[in-house]
Amino acid sequence: MAGFAVLTLVGCKNKKEMQNPFFGQWNTPYEIPDFAAIKTEHYMPAFNEAIKQQKAEIDSIVNNPDEPTFENTILAYEYSGQLLKKVGGVFFNLSECENSDEMEAIAEEVSPMLAAHADDIALNAKLFTRVKAVYDQRESLGLNPEQMRLLEETYKGFVRGGANVPEDQQARFRQINSQLASLTLRFAQNVLKATNAYSKELPDGKKVTLDMPTWEPFMQTCADRKLREEVWHAFTDRCREGEFDNTKVIDSIVNLRLERANILGYMTHADYVLDDCLAKTPDAVYKCLNQIWTPALKKAMQERDEYQRMLSADEPGAKLQPWDWRYYSEKLRAERYAIDDNEVRPYFSLDSVREGAFAVAHKLYGLNFKENPQLPTYDKEARAFEVYDGDSLIGILYMDFHPRASKRSGAWMTEFRGQHRDRDGRNVLPIIQVVCNFTSPTADKPSLLNFDESETLFHEFGHALHGLLSNCTYPSIAGTNVPRDFVELPSQVMENWCRHPEVMKTYAKHYKTGETIPDALIAKIAAAQTYGQGFINTELLAASLLDMDYYTIATQQHIDPLTFEEQAMARIGLIPEIISRYRSPYFQHIFTTGYDAGYYSYTWTAILDADAFEAFRESGDLFNPELAAKFRHLLESGNTVDPMTLYVQFRGHEPSVTPLLRNRGLVSK
């Protein structure tokens, strides 16, 4: 492989500063990013050069004297900006799990730059004229289905990006995008800082923080009601006021997104977002959510009454509060099913669960995962795996599982590089990353997961498979670049294998003895699957409906998120003992990470995943080769085919909500 190119950069003071590892091929196995060579001072010169290069590439397309063609316009645009994708793929992924003051400063500087650059492209009238010229003659070009899909998606992307915005509104459109880039970044940084700012020393010498792996077990097991209340408020009151206040940020984000949608010709931001999704309209989303809300709320009320009786026995006259819910839920779970996390965790060591996920992928798709400690990593806790389909290497998978102060909370899948074929037809291997925040191992004990965390690992691994199995030509429609209300299907369907007793027995082994999980404990876990589903579904649906309420606002107005949320929850009849899964000031999904007017997709695709797994159940074989091959085709296809068409090809019909309601115990079986 070629060594790093050395470019002369404005502002460089010495030869060392002139050597930037982003310029040239990575001199590493599989051209993995050279993490060890990358320093924070390399990012801004690389971003500046990358923007400069793509501008030159766009100018070349625009100034081409030849008539616009699929090759000289659509493909030329599709493959432009390679350096920008390379730099951004590293920076934005590491800023999520290796953050620092320096990285935050770079993000604050580069985010509006990138927003402006994207607008320069989307609002380039001459470029859009060429794209539209190709699009208008699409039926006569003899394109294959994947080429046609790329052309249609490219044209649609320009329209949604503002190509038809009147000239007298373009300056404001650009300003909105720049402001949104800065505001969403500030929101995320506030949440991270507020989360890291709290730590509570406990009487037993341990410490509770606001990271879910420590916060939730504390709330489930702490018998001290006043202490539960304090820690609950620390978690749920984040970013409501003070140094990390996000309330004014939310007001600005919601109104700016509405204004941008209006400029683009949509009544609301939700109308704009959903026009590019399977749901299509806000009404369809509300209909989907409400058909589950009513039975979920009914079950939640039954759960509340049970927990109130338990609290009354402990503290006569006390009224159940949100900080009591997890404690009594866990207590009743232990009583009713004679099961608690301390009984479950020893059988679900992190390594065993991970190997279980790998085994499912092997049985379904023939994949093998080989850890290679020689591959470059960005942190000592990140583990690298080569992924093989038979003897063929198809991708690299990084897995990073434990909390760090530099890492945001939650779990996610992303990519340093997506699968595609380059202009010469060479297949480019995907480099996929799975990040979680599971309890760290100790000197005498490995990381032990509860069952929810085990499902989380399978979930994110399902996203990873979507990226790893991608077999597409064009990067913008490959892998997970699908509508948001489809992207959760590959992840959520994997949870079904995680929880199935037949599969569980293959991977759930006691970390000390190696004993397979007993049938009796499997039965308890299975019986407990519908336990607490009133709460689980209600808090999820409440968050989804809150998201939709923000983004179906149709007129500019001052928004006090605390009041808005309170009114939204009252409108749907949410009982006061439960709150939305995320309160507005730390609801990152809808204000930073791309699920605005899209949080419903977890429920929408839950209907898909329950219906999809039902096909395997009906066949009598959880690893039915014919069905696995059909589902693999769905995963391989990215966005090269309409997603619902792919689903119907797999299932034979459109999805039914019945399996979901039955699996969650919301209707009689």
Please state which of the ranges 518-522, 528-532, 555-559 shows the lowest mean pLDDT: 528-532
Rounded CA separation 431/419 (Å): 8
Rounded CA separation 660/667 (Å): 9
Rounded CA separation 138/127 (Å): 17
Q: Is residue 106 part of a domain?
A: yes
Q: What is the share, in percent, of the chain residues with pLDDT greater than 90? A: 88
Q: Which of 153, 303, 455, 460 is catalytic?
A: 460
Q: Which residues contact 534 (CB under 8 A, 6 or more apart)?
A: 296, 297, 298, 299, 300, 301, 302, 303
Q: Please give the pLDDT value at position 149.
A: 97
460 is catalytic: yes
Residue in the structure block whose two tokens are 């699968």: 419
The number of distinct structural domains making up the chain is 2
Q: Please give the pLDDT value at position 12.
A: 36
Residue 580's pLDDT band (cuts 50, 70, 90)? very high
Rounded CA separation 396/417 (Å): 10
Each residue's pLDDT tens digit, 343-365 = 999 999 999 999 999 999 999 99
Q: Which residues contact 305 (CB under 8 A, 6 or more apart)?
A: none
pLDDT, averaged across the chain:
93
Residues 381-406, buried b or exposed e (16+ Cβ, 10 A)?
A: ebbbbbbbbeeeebbbbbbbbbbeeb
Rounded CA separation 69/134 (Å): 6
CATH of the domain at 454: 1.10.1370.40
Rounded CA separation 361/494 (Å): 9
Residue 40's pLDDT band (cuts 50, 70, 90)? very high
Angle of helix 625-636 versus helix 489-499 axis, rounded to 10: 150
Q: Given a cut of 90, is residue 5 above it in pLDDT?
A: no
Q: Given a cut of 60, is residue 567 above it in pLDDT?
A: yes
CA distances from 511 to 12, 350, 371, 508, 523 (A): 54, 10, 20, 9, 20
Q: Please give the pLDDT value at position 408.
A: 87
Secondary structure class of 339 (helix, strand, coil): coil
Last residue of a domain, one of 164, 181, 215: 164
pTM for the full predicted model: 0.84
The residue among 33 and 527 whose pLDDT is bigger is 33
Last residue of a domain, one of 164, 190, 212: 164
Q: Please give the pLDDT value at position 16.
A: 46
Q: Which two tokens stand for residue 351?
A: 């390594």
Burial class (CB in 10 A: 0-12, 13-18, 19+), 3: exposed
Q: Is residue 42 part of a domain?
A: yes
Last residue of a domain, one of 164, 198, 214: 164
Residue 555's CB: how many other CB atoms inside 10 A? 8
CATH of the domain at 47: 1.20.1050.40
Secondary structure class of 58 (helix, strand, coil): helix
Each residue's pLDDT tens digit, 175-207 = 999 999 999 999 999 999 999 999 999 988 899
Domain that holds residue 36: 26-164
CA-CA-CA-CA dihedral for 378, 385, 451, 292, to nearest 10: 90
Q: Is residue 15 part of a domain?
A: no
To 5 degrees, how large is the angle CA 233–CA 459–CA 287? 75
CA of residue 186 relative to chain centroid, distance: 19
Q: Are 320 and 311 in contact (CB under 8 A)?
A: yes
Q: Is residue 327 part of a domain?
A: no
Rounded CA separation 162/280 (Å): 19
Q: Is residue 117 part of a domain?
A: yes
Q: Please give the pLDDT value at position 664.
A: 87
Each residue's pLDDT tens digit, 598-634 = 999 999 999 999 999 999 999 999 999 999 999 999 9
The residue among 253 and 7 whose pLDDT is bigger is 253
Rounded CA separation 540/606 (Å): 12
Each residue's pLDDT tens digit, 94-106 = 999 999 999 999 9
Each residue's pLDDT tens digit, 454-506 = 999 999 999 999 999 999 999 999 999 999 889 999 999 999 999 999 999 99
